[in-house]
Amino acid sequence: MSAEKITIFDTTLRDGEQSPGINLDTGEKVEIALMLEGLKVDVIEAGFAVSSPGEFEAIKAVARVVKDSTICSLSRAVERDIDLTAEAVSGAASSRIHIVLATSPIHMKYKLQMTPENVLEHAVRAVVHARRYSEDIEFSCEDASRSEPEFLARFVEQVIGAGATTVSLPDTVGYATPDEYGKLFTYLRNVVPNADKAVFSAHCHNDLGMAVSNSLEATRQGARQIECTINGIGERAGNASLEEIVMALHTREDFFRCRTSVETRRLTAASRLVSEITGFVVQPNKAIVGRNAFSHQSGIHQDGMLKNPLTYQIMTAAEVGADEYRLVLGKNSGRNGFRMCMRSLGVEFGSDADLDLAFSRFKDIADQKASLCDEDLLATVAGMEAFSR
Ligand code: KIV
Ligand code: ZN
């Protein structure tokens, strides 16, 4: 069975920018958008056009320069917002209008203060209006994972009937479990009569740390688009992380039977650019792009890595564009890893006794320090005669 294509919809510039503390100007948005194009993401959500004049101009600038990815802007289900959104993306080689309206009882009652029937009418009118501008219309049923399934099914059927070509089911508050989220896709794809006329999309938040798992499970239940951000930045605890999703699909293609067109070798550079521009530091143990993602410290692991890197790595650093794996010395490291690190510093031990002495000095230093520098390591051979450099 061949792998099916998953559309990668990057929302770093919209949901990612909604992270408290991030504010991107036009130049920064354009720089990130060009990087995303180079990464070969399919859709770039450049922003929320009506949110400010600066945002509108930034989306226009992104639409002008990017040629190979579809450029999208979010819009409320309000006609004048859709008009402005359409104008913001009109200069793009390929554009999409993304409309959002909430479908959960709590959002409809308290936030929208509308009846479900009213919300439905509004949504259909918005899609029909947006179709005047574009054939590529995405509709997001905000808080879909807390919506009533029967109402959601009726809602999805009608927005598809009105012309939506992608339907997203956001887990807006990161509440769903993978099993529940996946079942929502299965259910809707089974009961909505015109479900095959639209692409179903996953959009997951990370409040319980399940955004990536939820997105991946959605692909197993028929989602063919995933919405995500570089480094997982986004509202509150963030969105599903693009690099984790792409590498999970890539590394476990045998399991997911899905593929993306993302250039995985550019992931590390993409992560660094977004971190540098936003000022959001990537945690060292972050999957795929963290500083320690390809570092090995304990003696048992280092010994395995030196014999065969597949013992402790399921992908190579080169696949994601990172530096080759590192053996990092610390108090858990073993003699073999120590000897290899010393060799990389130009030190060869003339005898086992020298190695034993240097190794025991190393353990004394490592007991005091979490990270050892080259000078610490070279100090372990101080005064020794039987070594060459
Ligand atoms: O999380 C969400 O529901 C969203 C919508 C605005 C698409 O980001
Ligand atoms: Zn979101």
15 lines ligand 1 (CB under 6 A): yes
Mean pLDDT for the chain overall: 96
Q: Closest ligand 1 atom to the C-alpha of 102?
A: 3
pLDDT tens, residue by residue, 284-335? 999 999 999 999 999 999 999 999 999 999 999 999 999 999 999 999 999 9
Residues of the chain with pLDDT > 90, as a percent, come to: 96
Apex CA 239: angle with CA 90 and CA 175, to 5°?
Answer: 125
CA–CA dist 169, 153 (Å, integer): 11
CA–CA dist 63, 67 (Å, integer): 8
CA–CA dist 287, 178 (Å, integer): 19
Say what the ipTM of the complex is: 0.99
CA–CA dist 177, 255 (Å, integer): 19
CA of residue 235 to ligand 2 center, whole Å: 7
389 band by pLDDT with thresholds 50, 70 and 90? low
CA of residue 203 to ligand 2 center, whole Å: 6
Q: Closest ligand 1 atom to the C-alpha of 172?
A: 1
176 lines ligand 1 (CB under 6 A): no
pLDDT tens, residue by residue, 226-258? 999 999 999 999 999 999 999 999 999 999 999
pLDDT tens, residue by residue, 195-229? 999 999 999 999 999 999 999 999 999 999 999 99
- CB of 37 within 8 A of CB of 68? yes
171 lines ligand 1 (CB under 6 A): no
Cβ neighbors of 216 (< 8 A, separation 6 or more) are: 178, 245, 248, 249, 256
pLDDT at 371: 83
99 lines ligand 1 (CB under 6 A): no
CA–CA dist 99, 85 (Å, integer): 10
CA of residue 18 to ligand 2 center, whole Å: 9
CA of residue 171 to ligand 2 center, whole Å: 8
Query: Is the confidence at residue 73, as pLDDT, over 70?
Result: yes
CA of residue 15 to ligand 1 center, whole Å: 7
Atom 1 of ligand 1, residue of closest alpha carbon: 172
Query: Is the confidence at residue 386, as pLDDT, over 80?
Result: no
CA–CA dist 254, 355 (Å, integer): 44
- CB of 244 within 8 A of CB of 288? yes
Q: Closest ligand 1 atom to the C-alpha of 18?
A: 8
pLDDT at 7: 98
HEC profile of 365-383? HHHHCCCCCHHHHHHCCCC
Ligand nearest, relative to CA of residue 144: 1
Candidate from 140, 167, 168, 233 with most ligand 1 atoms within 8 A of CB, to mutate: 140
pLDDT tens, residue by residue, 8-67? 999 999 999 999 999 999 999 999 999 999 999 999 999 999 999 999 999 999 999 999
142 lines ligand 1 (CB under 6 A): yes
- Closest by CA to 237, choosing from 168, 294, 283, is 283
